[in-house]
Amino acid sequence: MPKRPPITNRVRELREAHDQMSQSALAKAIGVTRQTVIAIEQGKYSPSLESAFRIAREFGVGLEDVFGWDGDESTKTGT
């Protein structure tokens, strides 16, 4: 089984906090398919930086309020 990306997110939580925004509505707002939103919420897929910014802007919060890092610090790129 492939390892899940070490990036956590609060997309579902923020979506529900925004008048129970549907996955389709969020998908349309950020320009991806509903399946992609589902994959992001399940932690299976890490969105591109552009989509990450779009999601954060859609909810009116900062990037780090939506996404978090759950990886091992010793696995930083370039070390």
Partner 1 sequence: MTTQFRADVASGIFAILIGIFHLGAYLGLWWRAPESGTDFFWRIGTSVVLMVIVAAIIGIVSGVINRDALENDEREDDARHRSMRNLCFIYAGALAIILMEAFGTMTPMMLAHGVVAAFIVGEIVRLGSMGYYLARGV
Give residue for tokens 């906090």: 17
Task: State how far Cα 78 lies from the chain centre.
Answer: 24
22 binds partner 1 (CB under 8 A): no
Q: Pick one of 48, 74, 75, 79: the residue that binds partner 1 (CB under 8 A).
A: 48
Q: Figure out which of the listed residues 16, 18, 22, 33 binds partner 1, where binding follows CB under 8 A.
A: 33
CA dist 25 and 17 (Å) reads 14
In the complex, which residues of this chain contact partner 1 (CB under 8 A)?
A: 2, 28, 31-33, 35-36, 39, 42, 44-45, 47-48, 51
